[in-house]
Structure 1
Amino acid sequence: MRPDREFLRRPLHDTVRDAGPSAGLSATQTEFGALPDWDLTDLYPAPDAPELTADLEAVEEKAAAFAADYEGKLAALDAPGMLDAIQRYEEIDILVGRIMSYVGLRYYQNTTDSARAKQMSDIQARITDATTPLVFFSLEFNRVPDDHYQALFTAPDGPARYKPVFDRMRAMRPHQLSDELEKFLHDNSVVGAAAWNRLFDETMAGLTFQIDGEEMQLEAALTLLTDHDRARREAAARALAQVFGDRVKLFARIHNTLAKEKAVEDKWRKMPSPEYGRHLANHVEPEVVEALRDAVTRAYPRISHRYYKLKARWLGLDKLQVWDRNAPLPTETPRSVGWDEARQTVLDAYAGFSPRLAELAEPFFDRGWIDAAVKPGKAPGAFAHPTVTTAHPYVMLNYLGKPRDVMTLAHELGHGVHQRLAAQQGELLSSTPLTLAETASVFGEMLTFRKLLAETTDPAQKKALLAGKVEDMINTVVRQISFYDFELRLHAARAEGELTPDDINAIWMDVATESLGPAFEFMPGYETFWSYVPHFVHSPFYVYAYAFGDGLVNALYAAYQAAPEGFQQKYFDMLSAGGSKHHKELLAPFGLDASDTAFWDKGLQMIEDFIDQLEALPD
């Protein structure tokens, strides 16, 4: 997923058959060309397909059989027996993942379609019921004595390759509840956070904004914040503020409820802080995240404050307004990028690094693995969903022809390539911790940017390209760490009691002022812009992963420039490892260590270097 991403206005379109990149695939005709639609038949032929029904029944049968065979018996298993149990568990995991990927992707194609929403909700509830018997597995596994655990996972005929998965599982032992409570939380999940998440998604998808007499959805309205016309940008910002403000009580209720629910569960699990569970899930030490956060917040004056002061000068303004933050430079020529050009740009950049990288990305375009067009009801933003290791990832975009959309394409394809390579690890080991999940995506962006920069000779366009990259990096590093701070403060304040919308607004404005700096003044209404950030709702404390990924990639790219010989193979090895290794092991071949505070300063220095280059260019 891209952080803090703004898009262009939605074009008129219509869906046609047999117009996609390959015969039999559908595409959406737009002013940017024929944009591919997903072909979800690789998962299931249709929403009422007998294969889907059969797999649902198989989940129920296999889960019940698994519980009957293993509940109360895990500690007595020998190494081959434990390997068999894990592989059976993984088989169920693949079935569940395939089913939920299919209904989830269909839902994100049109979140306002009641039939799709109902199917996803009904199947989620059925899957939850079916998998309740499996809750014992992690709980009982964590009670296996340490000496027996070590013997099982070092035996030659045992599950040794799965040890990283279960090491992470056992890290949760101090925070594990009773079997009965864990089963209750599992059953209750569909009416807890999941229900509030769905309310948020459907509310956001249904929002409309009146801008200069035109009705727009969220993507199109956010897109106008990058328009060349300052009046249009202001109109969009004010329309966004009005709609968010009209619904701020609902958004405050969602955040209050989710934060309180998390606090209750964290209390029972004896989590030392609201963010601690995310660090455990990411397999990253809290002190590493704090080193990152501290390095970035110390760099606010040198990076964001400095850059926005320059931008105010370029725009001829004493102060920037929020609608100027991602504005194009006055010297930048407005340009629309067709889909075919975007495809070629990214594939060429990938091939310039390694032909293999381009080969891994190409099927996304040709086989219906990308859904690119903006359509009514479609979820906003962009993401790459790995689905299951026996299938392939799917990429969602909302492509509107902006140069930044090309970078989004490069970003999401990086995720897709990473997911394809990691799939060889199998279902349980393929998932990459969030701290490393942004590596290939940000690296793909960097490759694309460097290619475009090298090919640009016009000083004005070079300046625009550099400025765009700096803004992307600020959005990825500074903004995401400020979002992380917002969450830290919000959860801390919620622990003291219910938060009013004004309370949340004040936290947002404090963080915005600190991170964006004195070059800005903030219009009335900007205080509600926290309400549309989906990460706060779906994945609390996820956002630092973006900054982690950007800093890591900056350090990686510097290593690539310093010693390109053999780098590609080490890079592919790192991506192929998936979740089978800790970040220390993955970065060691490159001579990098994320626990070293100098590591983060090195990554931030690349942003400062780009700002230096901008300052050296004529106004």
Structure 2
Amino acid sequence: MTQLTDPVQITWELESIFPGGSSSDKFDKFLSQLEEDIAAMHQDLQERNAPLALEETAHLDKLIDGLQNAAGKIIEADSFVACLTAQNQHDKKAVQLSGKVTTIRAAYENTMTLFQNVLRNTEDDLWEAWMARGEIAPISYVLSEKREIAREKLAPELESLASDLAIDGYHGWGQHYDTIVSKVAVPFKEGDGKLASLSVGQAANKLNDDDRAVREATFANWERAWSGVADYCADTLNRLAGFRLKLYERRGWDDILKEPLMINRMSRETLDMMWRVIEENKPVFVKYMNRKAELMGLDQLSWSDVDAPLGQSAGKISYEDAANEIVKQFRSFSPKLAEFSVEAFNRRWIEAEDRPGKRPGGFCTSLPVSKQTRIFMTYGGTVSNVSTLAHELGHAYHQYLMEELPQFNQDYAMNVAETASTFAEMIVADALVKNAADEKLKLSLLADKIGSSISFFMNIHARFLFETRFYEKRKQGVLSADELSALMEEAQREAYHGALASYHPHFWASKLHFYITDVPFYNFPYTFGYMFSTGLYARAQREGERFAAKYDALLQDTGRMTVEELASKHLDVDLTKPDFWREAMSVAVADVQLFLELTQ
């Protein structure tokens, strides 16, 4: 059994990937070679205008190997640059590299468009024979999926044009948002009265402070800070949506959710059923929020109270203690998960230091060529930070399980990615509640756990409502910053059933997820992942140790089937029906009922 190093390092290392950071010669050569490889494959595919013949499939098998290899290298490059820009928002060379990687990705997407056109034009009889071949059969699901998507899109030359224009248009606006965020500073009055200037990542931690006065003051300054850049954010969001809507129009897609659902390999029936079951149970969570307000001596919770600690907190938890607790609880479910997490800590795959200049939020990113991952966050010693750390390690473990699969089969969607991370977070959160030293601490930790449910059922739902309505309105023209704020607050009031005394109008400006260009609608997959993992957790509790192997097998299938097929194969359930969702919801509702009993 591997032990954690002493002390556990709180900063990551990137030198083993590409030495020299944003000035790495090795990385420059890596990108240059990648560009050449993609250009060669592009040239090869351009010469294939006739329908595919049987004798050509062997050559295409080799081309597929090249495409998978290039896909892994693009992810490697993108992840490395993401780490550089996240650890230091003022690294201008890293920002330039980000633009270069985006250009290479666009070239690859153009090449894939040509490849998918070959798939689209392949006769059905030949296709079936090709997909049955031993070397192709393992990735036949993904290839068939690419073939069907190609038939939904524009002609290859038009899709390539759109991809080229997206570099400085669509993706360019997304990168512009990062520039805006790097300039945002949130004033904060320290305990000695001195005025400090916090990055948005540091200020976000203050929003969860034990002291309500600190939270409220920080939130007021937070709103003002985002109000100051709201016009820039509104411009950015409008342009992103405008590009996407125009492309959808040209493809003949009239449903804004068509692409998000396609990417997440998920049906509209499943999505609607999930939200329906959540909506059925929201009154229970309103009762919780009302009880929490009562315990805090308030008529209603404000926005900054929703995630605030309640009563006795666990105090500041050192990073080392957090690492030990996470590994301990992971081991109780799966020794394999625990051993992987020890490796991540010991090999310094995690950046968690609380310092200026870092971007806000947290992420886990994979490096398939190096067969490593990197986790980014800002650790402030709160229970919420411990949960985030466990969450990101869940992501990393998911990727670890996929390492030996073909690259195409590693391309799992966001909704199932959030399943692994949320499951890992749940293991730790549940253990913290059960092992609390006294009832006051237990209540505090239980409240934090219920806070996660409210985040997925209400906060994420507000984002989904906002974005759905924003896109409908954007079809008629550009929305002003004030209109966006009004739309955001309206969505929040509806999603929270009017249970709060104040809301966060500029949430649309402060939340990075609205500006991510790789994945449209970066919201409902989070809730799916939470609900799906809760259902898995309920089964793990019933089945004990033998569930760990079943869990690993499910995760390994996430890149090669729809979520409905995944649930049917591994859980024998139908996601378009309410039964599984109600079973999953019962776990979260039980937490609220326990809380209400303990605080009666």
> Shared fold by TM > 0.5?
yes
**What's 1:144 paired with?**
122
2:159 is aligned, of 182, 194, 199, to 182
Q: Does 1:90 align with 2:68?
A: yes
**What's 2:192 paired with?**
none
Q: Distance in 2 between matches of 1:51 and 1:324?
A: 48
| SS in structure 2 of the partner of residue 75 of structure 1 | coil
Amino acid at match of 2:139: Y
Amino acid at match of 1:464: S
Q: Which runs of 5+ in 2 are unaligned?
A: 190-194
Please report how far the alpha carbon of residue 44 of structure 1 lies from its aligned counterpart in structure 2 after TM superposition. Answer: 5.0
Q: Does 1:591 align with 2:568?
A: no
Q: Does 1:528 align with 2:497?
A: no
**What's 1:191 paired with?**
168
1:455 is aligned, of 424, 435, 454, to 435
| SS in structure 1 of the partner of residue 412 of structure 2 | coil
Contact 2:334 2:545 (C-alpha < 8 Å) held by counterparts: no
**What's 1:398 paired with?**
378
Contact 1:308 1:516 (C-alpha < 8 Å) held by counterparts: no
**What's 1:388 paired with?**
368
Please report how far the alpha carbon of residue 565 of structure 1 lies from its aligned counterpart in structure 2 after TM superposition. Answer: 5.3
2:530 is aligned, of 538, 550, 566, to 550
Amino acid at match of 2:301: L
Q: Distance in 1 between matches of 2:21 and 2:218?
A: 39
TM-superposition CA deviations, 1:476-514 (whole Å, max 9, x none): 232112211111011011112221222211211111111
Going from structure 1 to structure 2, the CA distance change for 1:250 and 1:54 (only over 3 Å counts) comes to closer
Please report how far the alpha carbon of residue 433 of structure 1 lies from its aligned counterpart in structure 2 after TM superposition. Answer: 1.5
TM-superposition CA deviations, 1:415-464 (whole Å, max 9, x none): 00001101221221112122211111111111112222221140111111
Going from structure 1 to structure 2, the CA distance change for 1:224 and 1:95 (only over 3 Å counts) comes to closer
Q: Distance in 2 between matches of 1:485 and 1:186?
A: 28
**What's 1:5 paired with?**
none
TM-superposition CA deviations, 1:146-197 (whole Å, max 9, x none): 33222210133x4111112112212313431122211111211211121111
Contact 1:342 1:406 (C-alpha < 8 Å) held by counterparts: yes
Q: Distance in 2 between matches of 1:394 and 1:415?
A: 10
Please report how far the alpha carbon of residue 46 of structure 1 lies from its aligned counterpart in structure 2 after TM superposition. Answer: 4.7
| SS in structure 2 of the partner of residue 384 of structure 1 | strand
Amino acid at match of 1:319: Q
1:241 is aligned, of 185, 210, 223, to 223
TM-superposition CA deviations, 1:264-304 (whole Å, max 9, x none): 0110111231121011111111211121122223332222x
How do 1:235-384 residues align onto structure 2 when only pairs under 5 Å count? 235-303=217-285, 305-329=286-310, 331-333=311-313, 335-384=315-364
Q: Distance in 2 between matches of 1:145 and 1:597?
A: 40
Please report how far the alpha carbon of residue 134 of structure 1 lies from its aligned counterpart in structure 2 after TM superposition. Answer: 4.9
**What's 1:427 paired with?**
407
How do 1:406-421 residues align onto structure 2 when only pairs under 5 Å count? 406-421=386-401
Contact 2:88 2:358 (C-alpha < 8 Å) held by counterparts: yes
Q: Distance in 2 between matches of 1:75 and 1:518?
A: 59
Contact 1:109 1:377 (C-alpha < 8 Å) held by counterparts: yes
Q: Does 1:81 align with 2:59?
A: yes
Going from structure 1 to structure 2, the CA distance change for 1:140 and 1:215 (only over 3 Å counts) comes to same
| SS in structure 2 of the partner of residue 471 of structure 1 | helix
Amino acid at match of 1:568: A
Contact 2:434 2:442 (C-alpha < 8 Å) held by counterparts: no
Contact 1:22 1:367 (C-alpha < 8 Å) held by counterparts: no
Please report how far the alpha carbon of residue 217 of structure 1 lies from its aligned counterpart in structure 2 after TM superposition. Answer: 1.3
Q: Distance in 2 between matches of 1:434 and 1:264?
A: 24
Q: Distance in 1 between matches of 2:60 and 2:324?
A: 48
Higher mean C-alpha deviation, range 201-210 or range 46-55: 46-55
Please report how far the alpha carbon of residue 100 of structure 1 lies from its aligned counterpart in structure 2 after TM superposition. Answer: 2.6
1:575 is aligned, of 538, 555, 560, to 555
Q: Distance in 1 between matches of 2:197 and 2:79?
A: 32
Q: Distance in 1 between matches of 2:437 and 2:421?
A: 26
Q: Distance in 2 between matches of 1:267 and 1:201?
A: 28
| SS in structure 2 of the partner of residue 564 of structure 1 | helix
Contact 1:59 1:130 (C-alpha < 8 Å) held by counterparts: no
Contact 1:319 1:521 (C-alpha < 8 Å) held by counterparts: yes
Q: Distance in 1 between matches of 2:287 and 2:566?
A: 34
**What's 2:16 paired with?**
41
Amino acid at match of 1:284: M
| SS in structure 2 of the partner of residue 148 of structure 1 | helix
Higher mean C-alpha deviation, range 575-584 or range 499-508: 575-584
**What's 2:585 paired with?**
604
| SS in structure 2 of the partner of residue 520 of structure 1 | coil
Going from structure 1 to structure 2, the CA distance change for 1:205 and 1:48 (only over 3 Å counts) comes to closer
Please report how far the alpha carbon of residue 131 of structure 1 lies from its aligned counterpart in structure 2 after TM superposition. Answer: 6.6
Going from structure 1 to structure 2, the CA distance change for 1:133 and 1:596 (only over 3 Å counts) comes to closer
Task: Provide the aligned length of Structure 1 versus Structure 2.
Answer: 586
TM-superposition CA deviations, 1:526-574 (whole Å, max 9, x none): 3222211111110331211111011111111111222225211111111
| SS in structure 1 of the partner of residue 548 of structure 2 | helix
Higher mean C-alpha deviation, range 195-204 or range 67-76: 67-76
Contact 2:120 2:151 (C-alpha < 8 Å) held by counterparts: no
Amino acid at match of 1:116: A
2:146 is aligned, of 138, 159, 169, to 169
Q: Distance in 2 between matches of 1:217 and 1:49?
A: 27
Please report how far the alpha carbon of residue 585 of structure 1 lies from its aligned counterpart in structure 2 after TM superposition. Answer: 3.7
**What's 2:520 paired with?**
540
**What's 1:60 paired with?**
35
Please report how far the alpha carbon of residue 116 of structure 1 lies from its aligned counterpart in structure 2 after TM superposition. Answer: 1.8
Higher mean C-alpha deviation, range 529-538 or range 33-42: 33-42
Contact 1:113 1:377 (C-alpha < 8 Å) held by counterparts: no
TM-superposition CA deviations, 1:366-401 (whole Å, max 9, x none): 112111113332221111101225521111111111
How do 1:477-516 residues align onto structure 2 when only pairs under 5 Å count? 477-516=457-496
Q: Distance in 1 between matches of 2:21 and 2:175?
A: 23
Amino acid at match of 2:242: K
**What's 1:7 paired with?**
none
Q: Distance in 2 between matches of 1:560 and 1:531?
A: 39
| SS in structure 2 of the partner of residue 214 of structure 1 | strand
Higher mean C-alpha deviation, range 66-75 or range 485-494: 66-75
Contact 1:333 1:461 (C-alpha < 8 Å) held by counterparts: yes
Contact 2:394 2:422 (C-alpha < 8 Å) held by counterparts: yes
Report % sequence identity.
24
RMSD: 2.2
| SS in structure 1 of the partner of residue 210 of structure 2 | coil
Amino acid at match of 2:244: K
Q: Distance in 2 between matches of 1:533 and 1:116?
A: 22
Contact 1:197 1:537 (C-alpha < 8 Å) held by counterparts: yes
Contact 1:82 1:159 (C-alpha < 8 Å) held by counterparts: no
